[in-house]
Amino acid sequence: MSWMNAPRWATGVAIALLITLPFWVGNPYYINVASQILLFAVFALALNVLVGYGGLVSLGHAGLFAMAGYAGALMLDAGHGHLAADLTAIAVTVLASAVFGVLALRSTGIGFLMITLALGQIVWGIAYRWQSLTNGDNGVNVTTRPAPFGISLASADNFYFATLLVFLVALITMALFVRSPFGASLRGTRDQARRMNALGYNVWLIRLVAFLFSGFWTGVAGLLFIYYNQFISPQVAALQTSAEALLMVISGGTATLLGPIAGAAIVVIMKNVVSAYVERWNLVLGVIFVAIITFMPEGLVPGSVRLWKLAWRAMRGRPAKAAEPSA
């Protein structure tokens, strides 16, 4: 709980800055970027429950993310209200998470990764090929944003505040989840699955519940995404989206609460900046991936610190000791 150990005033300042952001930023473009960061932070936090605390790397979360988006968009398209659409979308996503979880938890480690990847591809296949349901490559438009309590979220400012609210709720829930006895048992299944089993914990059930929890917040993030973009296409369900979310988690540092948020900020800002100059986002994504995994397996922030120290020592002429991390 790095953010809980941080001085209380730092947390207070960060939250105050986030709440007042639209006032000192002003430009709607940047406010929208901030909304994107927050909604992807919710997604990354959800994925981190599995990757960081459960030790289960999923490459199928784009499928859940897109499923929430499609379910919501299609309900709205069929003329239902926002509340009904959102509840259905969340219910569908949690149900899908249960199916994903039951199948993927037949295995752990690499097997889990492969199965989630295949399941994610199924969702992509449905989104792309089942034309009569999902409108295929043309995607589905979401014409309106909801207006909870009569406050329209059409403007960038209001949408930002709504996203911030959801983000804060997600963050607090995650913090409670991680600190709870259940969170401790989840970490236990990550580190010592056999021992946990011998102690009488139902390892499989703990992992499944973690999967459902992760799926729920992934669904929430998916809904935020369609309301932000007001459009969803099969691209959202593609492997790239899963990889981006995973990059957010591992670039910021797994098994922390701040890591995925920092990672989401890094990836979203980079994507916006890169896309403004070149069309080669996938290339950049791949290069960052390879660079992080090869040179900074512990995450961007700790990794940069380590490399910086190495460079500093090298400049001062002292031999750097044991450069390669053993992890």
Q: Please tell me whether residue 106 binds other proteins under the rule CB under 8 A.
A: yes
For other proteins, the closer of residues 168 and 284 by Cβ is 284
Binding residue count for other proteins, defined by CB under 8 A: 42
For other proteins, the closer of residues 156 and 267 by Cβ is 267
Q: Which of residues 19-58 bind other proteins (CB under 8 A)?
A: 57
| HEC string for the chain | CHHHHCCHHHHHHHHHHHHHHHHHHCCHHHHHHHHHHHHHHHHHHHHHHHHHHCCCCCCCHHHHHHHHHHHHHHHHHCCCCHHHHHHHHHHHHHHHHHHHHHHHCCCCHHHHHHHHHHHHHHHHHHHHHCHHHHCHHHCEECCCCCCHHHCCCCCHHHHHHHHHHHHHHHHHHHHHHHHCHHHHHHHHHHHCHHHHHHCCCCHHHHHHHHHHHHHHHHHHHHHHHHHHHCEECHHHHCHHHHHHHHHHHHHHCCCCCHHHHHHHHHHHHHHHHHHHHCCCHHHHHHHHHHHHHHHCCCCHHHHHHHHHHHHHHHHCCCCCCCCCCCC
Question: Among the candidate windows 64-72, 88-96, 129-137, 299-307, which touches other proteins by CB under 8 A?
Answer: 129-137
Choose which of 12, 26, 125, 148 interacts with other proteins (CB under 8 A): 125
- Integer Cα distance of 151 and 164 in angstroms: 15
Choose which of 3, 30, 128, 201 interacts with other proteins (CB under 8 A): 128
Output the smallest distance, CB 150 to other proteins, in A.
41
| 142: CB partners within 8 A, 6+ apart | 72, 73, 76, 77, 226, 227, 229, 230, 231, 232
Binding mask 59-88 for other proteins (x = CB under 8 A): x-----------------------------
Q: Please tell me whether residue 325 binds other proteins under the rule CB under 8 A.
A: no
For other proteins, the closer of residues 163 and 233 by Cβ is 233
Choose which of 103, 175, 269, 274 interacts with other proteins (CB under 8 A): 103
Q: Please tell me whether residue 293 binds other proteins under the rule CB under 8 A.
A: yes
Choose which of 80, 286, 306, 313 interacts with other proteins (CB under 8 A): 286
Q: Please tell me whether residue 269 binds other proteins under the rule CB under 8 A.
A: no
For other proteins, the closer of residues 102 and 169 by Cβ is 102
Q: Please tell me whether residue 113 binds other proteins under the rule CB under 8 A.
A: yes
For other proteins, the closer of residues 57 and 67 by Cβ is 57
Joined tokens for residue 89? 């979308």
Choose which of 26, 297, 304, 323 interacts with other proteins (CB under 8 A): 297
Q: Please tell me whether residue 235 binds other proteins under the rule CB under 8 A.
A: no
Question: Among the candidate windows 16-24, 25-33, 114-122, 255-263, which touches other proteins by CB under 8 A?
Answer: 114-122
For other proteins, the closer of residues 123 and 164 by Cβ is 123
- Integer Cα distance of 91 and 188 in angstroms: 29
Q: Please tell me whether residue 155 binds other proteins under the rule CB under 8 A.
A: no
CB 93 within 8 A of CB 216: yes
CB-neighbour burial class of residue 224 (10 A; exposed 0-12, middle 13-18, buried 19+)? buried
Choose which of 21, 164, 285, 301 interacts with other proteins (CB under 8 A): 285
Residues that bind other proteins (CB under 8 A): 57, 59, 103, 106-107, 109-111, 113-115, 117-119, 121-122, 125-126, 128-133, 238-240, 243, 246, 250, 280, 282-283, 285-290, 293-294, 297
